[in-house]
Amino acid sequence: MILYFISVILLLIVNLDVCTSSKSCSPNCFASVYSLSNNAAKSECTSRADCLVKATFRVIQRGAFDEAINLTVIAYGINTDTDRSVAFALHNSNERIEYWCQSPRNGKPQAKVVQGSNSTFLEGNAQNISNALVCHWTFGKDDYIWPTHANYSKINLLNNLDYQISLVSDDVTKTVAWDLSKLPIYRMNFLRCCYKPHGGSDYLFLSNQTSQNTNFYLQAFPPVPKSMTVTLTNPNGGEFSVTCNSSNTFNASVKVDSQWEPIRDLRYYEIVKRDAPFPDFRCFWSQPVVLAESSGSLDTRDAKYNLEISSDNKPTYSESTVALNGASHSLFANLALILFSILFYLIL
């Protein structure tokens, strides 16, 4: 049985080219960095010497269809003979969520989270390193230290703008962002940075061509429909269409010489639908670059397409001259690590 699972996993690893690109994405796409200088004339730190606190908000891909957050807060100029407290805060007129990093005089540093309900959790990693106090937290949407409203429900960072970001250093507080639009997780900014995005404000549509396959990613933002359809039409001939339903049904067809027929050699597809507090609808599929069907073949390489996206059978977005090779980063960047982890677990 173990050998069977190992063989399956190795086969998946060998076929990762279906879901990956040879290029890599800049790490900067996955992080937003905020800082507070000890020089009031400066809007942010320019060096460690003039820095009170720096925070890095980083999105982590968990597989291809979920995200977690790593938040790191660093206080500089630490003296163990004095108390020091710094924080990263999300707040609006109704509530405040704080990630505190504290170094008591001659005491052990600690990290804590104060949620919108004022519930406090001694959670996170804190340590003094080279005259700096470093705290970090890693949390997913199901974790209790994910930012939480005063009514204990989770804040949807993928779609909620209604918070400011402030940094705190002892008695100094500064607002460093007036909304959440620049966070890498908001409306999947990190994917928009890695790829050529399409879909406007309601969708995120991405494509990536390898030597043999074209990989597609489609995500709808709230309000989430029950079905999404992507139609790509080449003005010079050829058309294909894919429909993803929240009931987990998937239909892909191609039109060659005025005749529609199902795409026969579909490589892979997956649909993910989530409800509140993180309403989400995502669809991923992979197909050959050359669609060889009984009525003829359609070579999708180097072509430009007219894109139309429909929700619940109603056209809602269109764009012309869309190339399918617009990605520079793998949608399944972490899949190899996941598979290797399972492999080692089975071996051990």
In this prediction, residue 44 has a pLDDT band, given cuts at 50, 70 and 90, of very high
89: helix, strand or coil: strand
Residues 265, 294: contact at Cβ < 8 Å?
no
State the pLDDT at residue 214.
95
The whole-chain average pLDDT of the chain stands at 87
State the pLDDT at residue 24.
65
Over 60: is that where the pLDDT of 23 sits?
no
Instruction: Tell whether 223 and 171 lie within a shared domain.
Output: no
Is residue 203 in some structural domain? Answer: yes
Is residue 168 in some structural domain? Answer: yes
Is residue 2 in some structural domain? Answer: no
In the chain, how many domains are there? Answer: 2
State the pLDDT at residue 117.
95
Query: What DSSP string runs through 264-301?
Result: S---EEEEEEE-TTS-EEEEEEEEESEEEETTEEEE-T
Instruction: Tell whether 210 and 272 lie within a shared domain.
Output: yes
Residues 254-267 pLDDT 10s: 998 888 999 988 99
Last residue of a domain, one of 186, 220, 236: 186
- Which of 30-39, 295-304, 321-330 tops mean pLDDT? 30-39
In this prediction, residue 98 has a pLDDT band, given cuts at 50, 70 and 90, of very high
Residues 238, 246: contact at Cβ < 8 Å?
no
Between the CA of residue 79 and those of 55, 83, 133, 171, what are the distances in Å? 20, 8, 10, 16
Over 60: is that where the pLDDT of 14 sits?
no
Rounded Cα distance, 244 and 226, in Å:
9
Over 60: is that where the pLDDT of 106 sits?
yes
Instruction: Tell whether 223 and 170 lie within a shared domain.
Output: no
More confident residue, 180 or 293: 180
In this prediction, residue 25 has a pLDDT band, given cuts at 50, 70 and 90, of confident
Q: What is the dihedral of CA 258, 264, 270, 276, to 10 degrees?
A: 40
State the pLDDT at residue 11.
32
Q: Tell me, rounded to whole angstroms, the distance of Cα 188 from its chain centroid.
A: 5
State the pLDDT at residue 327.
52
Residues 59, 185: contact at Cβ < 8 Å?
yes
Instruction: Tell whether 161 and 60 lie within a shared domain.
Output: yes
Instruction: Tell whether 174 and 39 lie within a shared domain.
Output: yes
State the pLDDT at residue 43.
85
Once rounded to an integer, what is the mean pLDDT over residues 72-92? Answer: 94
- Sheet of 84-91: strand order equals 120-121, 110-114, 96-103, 84-91, 164-169, 172-177
Once rounded to an integer, what is the mean pLDDT over residues 77-106? Answer: 94
Instruction: Tell whether 49 and 178 lie within a shared domain.
Output: yes
Last residue of a domain, one of 153, 186, 219: 186
Q: Cα angle at 202 between 151 and 165, to 5 degrees?
A: 45
pTM of the model: 0.85
State the pLDDT at residue 9.
36
- Pair of tokens at residue 204: 């995120």
State the pLDDT at residue 292.
87
Last residue of a domain, one of 186, 221, 242: 186
State the pLDDT at residue 264.
86
Is residue 338 in some structural domain? Answer: no
Instruction: Tell whether 116 and 164 lie within a shared domain.
Output: yes
Between the CA of residue 202 and those of 96, 116, 244, 251, 310, what are the distances in Å? 28, 28, 16, 22, 11
Is residue 150 in some structural domain? Answer: yes
State the pLDDT at residue 1.
41
Q: For the domain that residue 219 is a member of, what is the CATH number?
A: 2.60.40.1190
CB under 8 Å to 169, separation ≥6 — which residues? 36, 52, 53, 75, 85, 86
Instruction: Tell whether 110 and 78 lie within a shared domain.
Output: yes
Once rounded to an integer, what is the mean pLDDT over residues 324-342? Answer: 47
Instruction: Tell whether 202 and 318 lie within a shared domain.
Output: yes
Asked whether the CA dihedral 90, 275, 330, 299 is positive or negative, the reply is: negative
- Phi, psi (5° rounding) for residue 51? -110, 130
Domain that holds residue 225: 196-330
Is residue 9 in some structural domain? Answer: no
Dihedral class, residue 27 (left if φ above 0, else alpha if ψ from -120 to 50, else beta): alpha
Over 60: is that where the pLDDT of 4 sits?
no
Once rounded to an integer, what is the mean pLDDT over residues 167-190? Answer: 97
Is residue 325 in some structural domain? Answer: yes
Instruction: Tell whether 203 and 254 lie within a shared domain.
Output: yes
Asked whether the CA dihedral 140, 144, 148, 154 is positive or negative, the reply is: positive
Rounded Cα distance, 175 and 196, in Å:
31
Rounded Cα distance, 167 and 53, in Å:
7
Is residue 7 in some structural domain? Answer: no
Instruction: Tell whether 258 and 322 lie within a shared domain.
Output: yes
Instruction: Tell whether 103 and 215 lie within a shared domain.
Output: no
More confident residue, 271 or 19: 271
